[in-house]
Structure 1
Amino acid sequence: MLALEKVLTNNATIYRREARLMGNKFEISVVGNDPIWAVERINNAISEINRVEKLLSTFSEDSEVNTINRNAGIKPVKVSAEIFRLIDRSLQISELTYGAFDITYYATDKTVEQHDASVLTYTKISYKDVVLDAKATTVFLKEKAMRIGFAANSKGYAADRAKYIMQLEGVSHGVINAGGDLLTWGLQPDMEPWTVATADPRQEAQPFADLEISNMAIATSVNTEKYITINDKKSRAGKAANGFTVSGIKSVSIISPTAEFADAMATPVMTIGVNAGIYLINQLNQIGCVIIDDRNRVYPSKGITIA
């Protein structure tokens, strides 16, 4: 069993545990008075994250995602309501970001080559080539070389699901740190709102460390190179594409009611630049962002005050 850390704040208790999940370091924190109860709640959250990882896996032959991919260009595939809704939300984010976020990608595996080498000449696939039938709950990829994957938003979705499970079991206050992306609900033990720094002390040097994020999620995408490849796994999105300049932006943090949406939006906002990114976020309800440029200037969206 993984070690459970107990943190006391004003006579209240936070129980924290770290675990390696979905290829990332997760830290799950719950506020409570009973360590046995806390262990059980965290165990159930970890089980749910593992379930989501298996659900969205492209490595398991019998996964729904693999079944969809195997039938690309062949026939629609009936899927569970959960997978259908996740794909539907992903396509809506693609529309919102004009394709900067896209769960589709272009397959170059030997299976496709052997099946029909001609399909590899088709390079303009996108989210627009995914056909959903809500009545039949089917998903159809129009082109044989198409694949879908959830590298961009799977971590956030898993965090949302873990939070949901814990809330059902009576956890009224907590934090999920999914590789530096934070999802909070309720309050700290001293009844103060969660801030970026209190949810993750390692981020106390951020210019927005005091930003209140209770009952919200915040996900950050960092530009570590002069050129970024849009939607690859490193930049936390799902579709490989040609790199183009995003120098000028150092990082983008998205604040949203769900970790799934925050996780999906961080890199697309980075790719479209400061002005367009702020404009886009300002059109959305209950969504905020903080952009930091390469001169460490901070650009918050409306409704966000940086001290």
Structure 2
Amino acid sequence: MDQLFTVRFGAMACDCEIMLAARDEAEAQARAQPAIDEVRRIETKYSRYRTDSLLARIHADAGRRATPVDEETASLLAYADALYRTSGGAFDITSGVLRRAWNFRTAHVPTDAELDEVLPLVGWHQVERTDSSVYLRTPGMELDFGGFGKEYAADRAAAALSAQGVAHGYVNLGGDLRTVGPQPDGSPWEVGIQDPRSATDTIAAIALRGGALASSGDYERYMEVDGVRHCHILNPRTGRSCTWWRSVSVVAPLAVAAGSLATLAMLKGEDGLAFLRESGHPFFAVDHTGAVHRRDA
């Protein structure tokens, strides 16, 4: 019987790993490599930090001209549009520009005046799309695929593993996980949920025989000022940090769906619990008081 091997790598500013069943370490590495290459391809293409990425070209063209895009990018933009519409504008991939006012390496919470300078650059309604182009109408606008890019990469990497003949394994990109079947003996993968108030502890475990699990929380990038934790998940309307939830983890068939649901729940604040329940998906969530809310499969 094949053994389980772990192939670790770094991408998307996080620690990543691929677990898969193979005859030996060399076969495991060979089967994992196309999946790793796919993750890095997506990172290179859609990184907002690279000057040679597609997003960099789109941002440079903002207010000047439309930028040609391929079918993959058009599909992701269509997904972003669907998220914006179904969330009533809460999920807006133009809101990444708010990081100009927020610097989590310092303990400075932006003033209303500082946010007022960047909020006019936020608004999906200012984005014009066709099947082959995208145009940001206002100079200085940006797109940020951070709300689902890592999860999309996990799904694509899992597809690459399946194409290599892998039937048992998973892709874990910084805690966002997409499985490829159960363990070789048919048992589920036991996935730990990080305690949002401890970097080294887990607060729960979820069993997965298939599908994906993704998490969103206030513990990834944050600062605490006057006893209030301000995290990197920002309301696109106010520019302010989401404070109702410590963490939300969701199980769904695809990592991109699980991640979007988790982020939407964070953005919805107190209304996020009803949203999670209505979604029908299993979830594990910790609110700002430390109370746990969950729905098992």
Query: Is the TM value for this pair above 0.5?
Result: yes
Matches of 1:178 and 1:108, distance apart in 2:
23
Matches of 2:2 and 2:99, distance apart in 1:
54
1:246 Cα shift? Answer: 2.0
CA gap 1:16/1:121 in 2 versus in 1, 3 angstroms:
closer
Matches of 2:93 and 2:8, distance apart in 1:
29
3-state SS of the aligned residue for 1:196? strand
3-state SS of the aligned residue for 1:273? helix
TM-score (norm 2): 0.79
Matches of 1:181 and 1:103, distance apart in 2:
19
Which residue among 63, 67, 76 is the counterpart of 1:86? Answer: 76
Question: Alignment identity in percent?
Answer: 27
Question: Contact 2:98–2:119 (CA<8 Å) still a contact in 1?
Answer: no
Counterpart AA for 2:263: T
Matches of 2:99 and 2:203, distance apart in 1:
40
1:203 Cα shift? Answer: 9.0
Which residue among 85, 88, 91 is the counterpart of 1:98? Answer: 88
Question: Contact 1:155–1:178 (CA<8 Å) still a contact in 2?
Answer: yes
CA gap 1:185/1:89 in 2 versus in 1, 3 angstroms:
same
1:49 Cα shift? Answer: 1.1
Aligned residue for 1:258? 254
Which residue among 256, 272, 293 is the counterpart of 1:299? Answer: 293
1:155 Cα shift? Answer: 1.4
Aligned residue for 1:141? 136
Matches of 2:292 and 2:119, distance apart in 1:
41
Whether 1:272 and 2:268 are equivalent positions in the alignment is: yes
1:212 Cα shift? Answer: 2.6
Matches of 1:283 and 1:107, distance apart in 2:
30
Aligned residue for 2:216? 221
Question: Contact 1:217–1:262 (CA<8 Å) still a contact in 2?
Answer: yes
1:262 Cα shift? Answer: 2.3
CA gap 1:128/1:227 in 2 versus in 1, 3 angstroms:
farther
Which residue among 67, 74, 78 is the counterpart of 1:77? Answer: 67
Question: Contact 2:169–2:182 (CA<8 Å) still a contact in 1?
Answer: yes
Structure 1 gaps of 5+ residues are 1-10, 110-119
Which residue among 35, 47, 54 is the counterpart of 1:45? Answer: 35
Aligned residues: 268
TM-align CA RMSD: 3.0
Task: Single out whichever of 150-159 and 14-23 deviates more from structure 2.
Answer: 150-159
Which residue among 6, 11, 15 is the counterpart of 1:25? Answer: 15
Whether 1:127 and 2:124 are equivalent positions in the alignment is: yes
Matches of 2:32 and 2:84, distance apart in 1:
33
1:257 Cα shift? Answer: 1.7
Structure 2 gaps of 5+ residues are 101-116, 194-198
Question: Contact 1:218–1:253 (CA<8 Å) still a contact in 2?
Answer: yes
**1:171-210 correspondence runs (5 A):** 171-197=166-192, 205-207=202-204, 209=205
Whether 1:65 and 2:32 are equivalent positions in the alignment is: no
